[in-house]
Structure 1
């Protein structure tokens, strides 16, 4: 029996708090419930599959689908399970609370702890869908694993965060102390680009849609959406134009192919949603990103436009995917843009004014450092309102409080 404090190594939190994770999941559930009364919901998903359902945008999507729109859901994520003495990953606790809350609300919820890149997982999802009489009218693709094994070749690929053509240097922010340092992203070489595309591109997403379609578990009008990020010009060298961005462009190319297939067979569609930049496990180790997000948060909070994962996904469902007239607003390339507030010219102009002025002495005042630090800890169930972090945790597998 002991208290649980955040263990942070090199801007990565390596443990989690069961009650903090559960309470944060409940907070998101309550948020979408509070929005429901103000939305004119005339269209809604009935059966939703969320691939990568345990944290971030995937978890928020599942919460919005279930608790604002009343959908039954199947979720897939690959988590370390907790035992009485050993903690699990944050997503394991989030999933446990989601399933508990869904059951209390009378919603069907099945959560699989499996490798979503595997055909075995696809077969299990199909089995569950058929046993429960479900045909998915929305498939959310929100996988963020750095490693993928190709089901056909059995080759394992690993993604990398590297620049292309020219080494990239940028400021790194220690999200616990506020200290600044220089971080260097090396140049991609050899098979780095191909490997990253294999993991983070659209190949696996299309394989999911193809196999679900072949198994006849997709509904008429089925939509699918995958998540991506474009970001501001200042980060393009390491993100949009780096290895990660190249993979995301591949994701967008597959979206067009997927959309054609769904349109022909189901009168459906496939989309990539370009979302707002948020603090995640990966953003903490990419040069300039955390510092930029600190500026973005400060500016958007002053503008009254700041959103976290749940606010973004609630708006995605209500104002993009399930509009009253059935039209999904997109840009000229067919992408959903829920990053619209982040990339407003006036917002970016304010950020461009702040960024060059940041020094080690003023960083905590020029950016929203406390907001960044909160979000960094919050991912793992720390710094959550209403949690007594001085209280001993007797059972690491329990989310009861």
Structure 2
């Protein structure tokens, strides 16, 4: 079938298998071009099919030549209907890993469930024995707690009072004001249940009890802070409460890993275009202005550049990790440079529908958004008939 992007609001309903493969191969080639990493050998990536999780898996495999197990929840293709992009990404990754002689197996299912945890542990025991790095990179808006059976849904709301500021519809380029009503305590509790650290801790407990964690094991989860501009709706809102919980959980897990001399840590990453961030009011406009500024400064990074720098310069330097006052690794350091934020603030004050095409990088934002679904890559013939039924061998 000929596959074109089909939009519904902030979601693309189609994905291009050859474009997704190009995305994966581009990331692999970047890692290879940067040189090897003296890093992990057996890696579990929970949330491995898109974004930072996918880039972490690529960096582990093609930077450190690690064996990897990826866990994700993606829809397979059907005749006349494309798979989700994560399916095509993971199929492409496995194909490339096999060509390179690297071990790579994947489990498709609800990572929040006890069933998927047990299945993953059995695969580790059977094939790898022990794991020395666990990446936790889930980004689901919904979670069913396996212990209680209760389904929780996250919300994006400010706390205490309504929040009003500018945002942009990145499809049309129209800048407008948006207001978001404050949350309830139930909203906070549900968001923490979905996006906080509870499931990360459950994974680490299960892996530890099964005896599949190596000495000096490391686990890394991803977070975001952002500027004062987005604080009311993000870091000091419902999602911020969940991120606080996630970051506190790192200390709890580290305490439990003392017998293995292991540790858990949170990496605070840069703002990037993701399916989730595209739906957050204010964030697309901020990212558009940030991209413009960072590209002009020559310090812009995508997911793979961020993850390679995290592994090479932070996690596996042979020295003690450089952490902030709250014990977090900061690879958002270039984004949060005072000079960068001052420029973004100045652009924000000027931003409207007329000025944005000149002062922002909405074109780059749109390009990155389409790339998430396999569209817009050089060398891919989007007018050609392609097979949407890309198979993937699952564990």
Contact 2:176–2:352 at 8 Å: present in 1 too?
no
280, 298, 302: which one aligns with 1:308: 302
Q: Residues 354 and 399 (structure 1 numbering): CA distance in 2 closer, same or farther, change over 3 Å?
A: farther
Secondary structure, aligned partner of 2:275: coil
Distance in 2 separating the partners of 1:381 and 1:199: 28
Matched, 1:360 2:358: no
Contact 2:42–2:128 at 8 Å: present in 1 too?
no
- How far did 1:11 drift? 2.3
201, 219, 224: which one aligns with 1:206: 201
Q: Which residues of 2 match residues 229-248 of structure 1 at below 5 A?
A: 229-248=224-243
Contact 1:126–1:217 at 8 Å: present in 2 too?
yes
Contact 2:251–2:264 at 8 Å: present in 1 too?
yes
Q: Residues 365 and 330 (structure 1 numbering): CA distance in 2 closer, same or farther, change over 3 Å?
A: same
Match of residue 140 from structure 1? 135
Contact 1:61–1:313 at 8 Å: present in 2 too?
yes
- How far did 1:177 drift? 2.4
Distance in 1 separating the partners of 2:166 and 2:88: 33
**Consecutive unaligned residues in structure 1, runs of 5 or more:** none
Q: Which residues of 2 match residues 30-49 of structure 1 at below 5 A?
A: 30-36=29-35, 41=37, 43-49=38-44
**TM-score computed with the length of structure 1 as normaliser:** 0.96
Secondary structure, aligned partner of 2:128: coil
Secondary structure, aligned partner of 2:225: coil
Cα shift readout 1:72-106 (whole Å, capped 9, x = no counterpart): 00000000001342211000000000111111111
Contact 1:225–1:272 at 8 Å: present in 2 too?
yes
Match of residue 260 from structure 1? 255
Match of residue 351 from structure 1? 344
Superposition RMSD on alpha carbons, in Å? 1.3
Cα shift readout 1:42-95 (whole Å, capped 9, x = no counterpart): x31010000000000000000000001000000000000013422110000000
Distance in 2 separating the partners of 1:16 and 1:201: 29
172, 181, 185: which one aligns with 1:186: 181
Distance in 1 separating the partners of 2:198 and 2:345: 36
Match of residue 97 from structure 1? 92
Q: Which residues of 2 match residues 333-344 of structure 1 at below 5 A?
A: 333-344=326-337
358, 375, 397: which one aligns with 2:389: 397
Contact 2:91–2:390 at 8 Å: present in 1 too?
no
Distance in 2 separating the partners of 1:320 and 1:48: 17
276, 279, 289: which one aligns with 1:282: 276
- How far did 1:324 drift? 2.6
Cα shift readout 1:306-335 (whole Å, capped 9, x = no counterpart): 00000000000001100033x111111110
Contact 1:19–1:399 at 8 Å: present in 2 too?
no
Secondary structure, aligned partner of 1:340: coil
**TM-score computed with the length of structure 2 as normaliser:** 0.97
Match of residue 64 from structure 2? 69
Match of residue 12 from structure 2? 13
Match of residue 313 from structure 2? 319
Distance in 2 separating the partners of 1:202 and 1:133: 26
Distance in 2 separating the partners of 1:356 and 1:93: 40
Match of residue 50 from structure 1? 45
Match of residue 113 from structure 1? 108
Secondary structure, aligned partner of 1:239: coil
Contact 1:175–1:376 at 8 Å: present in 2 too?
no
Match of residue 379 from structure 2? 386
- How far did 1:190 drift? 4.5
Length, aligned pairs only: 392
Distance in 2 separating the partners of 1:5 and 1:183: 31
**Consecutive unaligned residues in structure 2, runs of 5 or more:** none
